[in-house]
C-alpha cells in the first residue's frame, strides 16, 4: 500500500483524538465555572465557592488525564497498529477504525504496559540533551548564550524531534510481534531503531523540514489571526501595554511596546499549531518513518551489543529488559 493510502485510511484516529482533546479542554474550563456560579446562586459564602471551584478543577484534571491523555494514547495505539498492519501486510481492513480499536482491546494490557515504558526514550533523549548542554557549559563557561550553548540547544531539539518517533515505532513492533511479551518487543523495537539509525536518519531531514514548514505556515496563520483579533480588543491591549511599561530587560531598559501581545499570540499559535500538526501532519510523517523502520527491522535482527549500549544509557530500558525475563539476550 502507498503511504498516502495508509495515511488517509488511518486519519480518523487523529481526528477523533483531536475532537476528544478539544471537548475535554472545554469541560476543564466549564466545570470550575459551573461550580463557582452554582455555589454563588445557592447563596454560599466565598470560601465555599472557592473550595467548590478548586475541587471541580481537580476533578476536571483527572477526567482530562483519563479521557484525553490516556484515552488519546489508546487512539494513537490503534492508529499505530493499523499503520503497522498496512505496511507489513500491504492490506488494511475495510473499517480500519473499528479494527484498530479491536487490536488495542485485544492487547489492552500490552498497550497499557507500553504507556508506562515511554520513559525509555524520554530518558535517552534527556541524557543526550544533558550531555550536550554539559559540553556547552564547559566550552562557554559563564556565557550561557555562547555559540556552543546555541549549537547544543539546536542539536538537542533535533534529537528530541527525531527520537519522538521511536515511541511509535517501538509500539508498532509490539503489535507486529504479538506472540511475545510486550516488554521483550519494546526492548527489541528500541534496539532496532538505534541499530538502524543510519537508515532512519535519512528521514530525519524530511521530518525536521516538514515540521518547520508546518510551524511556519500553520503556526504563522494562527499567529496572524490571533494578533489581528486580540490587537483589536482595546481593554486587553491596554492591560498588555501596562505590563510592557512595567517590565524591564536585564540591562534596565524598557521592554519594547507590543511585546506582551506578541508573546500571548505566540503561545496561542503554538498551542493551536500543536493540535493541528499532531492530528493531520505528524501521522503522515509517521507512516513514512514506520515504513523505513519496519523494513529495516525485518531485514536486521536485534543485536546484543546494541542492547548493552542502551542498557547503559537508560534506566527505563534496563527495567523493561528485566521485566522481559528470559526473552532478553543474556549478554545484556
Q: Among 52, 11, 12, 3, which residue's Cα sits nearest to residue 32?
A: 52
Which ranges in the chain belong to alpha helices (H)?
3-41, 46-63, 71-89, 96-106, 108-115, 119-140, 147-176, 182-195, 197-201, 204-214, 220-230, 234-246, 259-276, 282-299, 304-313, 315-324
Q: For residue 332, what pLDDT is reported?
A: 36
Residue 287 in domain: no
* C-alpha–C-alpha distance, residues 310 and 313, integer Å: 5
Q: For residue 138, what pLDDT is reported?
A: 64
Counting the structural domains of the chain, the total is: 1
Residue 252 in domain: no
- From the number of C-beta atoms within 10 Å of its C-beta (0-12, 13-18, 19+), residue 171 rates as buried
Residue 28 in domain: yes
Residue 192 in domain: no
Q: For residue 205, what pLDDT is reported?
A: 76
- Do 281 and 297 contact (CB within 8 A), yes or no? no
Per-residue pLDDT of the chain (332 residues; tens, 9 = 90+): 899 999 999 999 999 999 988 988 888 889 888 988 888 888 787 888 888 889 998 998 888 888 887 788 889 889 999 999 999 999 999 999 999 999 888 777 666 666 655 555 566 556 656 665 666 566 666 555 666 667 766 766 666 666 778 778 888 888 888 777 777 887 888 888 888 877 777 777 788 889 899 999 999 999 999 999 999 998 888 888 888 888 776 666 777 888 899 999 999 999 899 989 999 999 999 999 899 889 888 887 777 788 888 777 777 677 777 877 744 454 43
289: left (phi over 0), alpha (psi -120 to 50) or beta: alpha
From residue 155, alpha-carbon distances to 129, 200, 210 in Å are 8, 17, 17
Q: For residue 152, what pLDDT is reported?
A: 66
Residue 63 in domain: yes
Residue 223, C-alpha cell as written in the block: 499567529
Give the structural domain span for 69.
1-106
Q: For residue 77, what pLDDT is reported?
A: 87
18-39: burial string, b at 16+ Cβ within 10 Å, e else: bebbeebeebbeebbeebbeeb
Report which DSSP code applies to 233. -
Q: For residue 16, what pLDDT is reported?
A: 93
Amino acid at each position: 500500500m502507498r503511504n498516502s493510502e495508509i495515511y488517509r485510511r488511518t486519519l480518523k484516529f487523529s481526528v477523533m483524538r483531536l475532537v476528544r482533546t478539544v471537548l475535554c479542554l472545554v469541560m476543564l474550563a466549564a466545570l470550575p465555572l459551573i461550580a463557582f456560579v452554582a455555589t454563588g446562586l445557592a447563596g454560599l459564602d466565598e470560601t465555599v465557592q472557592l473550595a467548590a471551584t478548586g475541587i471541580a478543577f481537580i476533578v476536571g484534571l483527572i477526567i482530562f488525564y483519563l479521557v484525553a491523555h490516556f484515552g488519546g494514547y489508546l487512539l494513537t495505539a490503534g492508529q499505530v497498529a493499523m499503520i503497522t498492519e498496512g505496511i507489513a501486510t500491504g492490506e488494511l481492513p475495510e473499517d480500519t477504525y473499528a479494527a484498530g480499536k479491536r487490536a488495542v482491546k485485544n492487547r489492552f494490557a500490552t498497550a497499557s504496559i507500553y504507556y508506562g515504558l515511554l520513559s525509555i526514550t524520554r530518558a535517552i533523549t534527556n541524557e543526550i540533551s544533558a550531555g550536550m548542554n554539559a559540553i556547552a557549559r564547559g566550552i562557554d563557561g559563564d556565557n550561557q548564550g555562547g555559540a556552543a550553548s546555541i549549537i547544543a540547544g539546536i542539536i538537542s531539539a533535533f534529537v528530541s524531534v527525531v527520537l519522538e518517533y521511536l515511541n511509535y515505532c517501538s509500539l508498532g513492533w509490539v503489535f507486529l510481534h504479538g506472540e511475545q511479551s510486550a516488554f521483550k518487543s519494546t526492548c527489541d523495537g528500541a534496539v532496532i531503531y538505534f541499530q538502524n539509525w543510519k537508515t532512519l536518519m535519512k528521514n530525519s531531514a524530511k521530518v525536521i523540514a516538514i515540521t518547520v514548514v508546518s510551524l511556519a505556515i500553520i503556526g504563522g496563520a494562527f499567529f496572524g489571526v490571533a494578533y489581528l483579533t486580540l490587537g483589536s480588543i482595546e481593554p486587553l491591549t491596554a492591560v498588555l501595554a501596562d505590563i510592557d511599561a512595567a517590565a524591564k530587560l536585564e540591562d534596565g531598559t524598557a521592554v519594547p511596546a507590543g511585546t506582551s501581545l506578541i508573546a500571548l499570540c505566540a503561545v496561542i499559535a503554538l498551542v493551536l499549531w500543536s493540535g493541528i500538526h499532531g492530528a493531520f501532519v505528524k501521522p503522515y510523517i509517521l507512516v513514512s518513518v514506520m515504513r523505513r523502520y519496519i523494513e529495516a527491522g525485518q531485514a536486521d535482527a536485534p543485536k546484543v551489543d546494541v542492547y548493552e549500549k542502551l542498557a547503559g544509557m537508560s534506566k527505563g530500558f534496563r527495567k523493561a529488559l528485566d521485566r522481559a525475563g528470559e526473552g532478553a539476550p543474556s549478554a545484556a
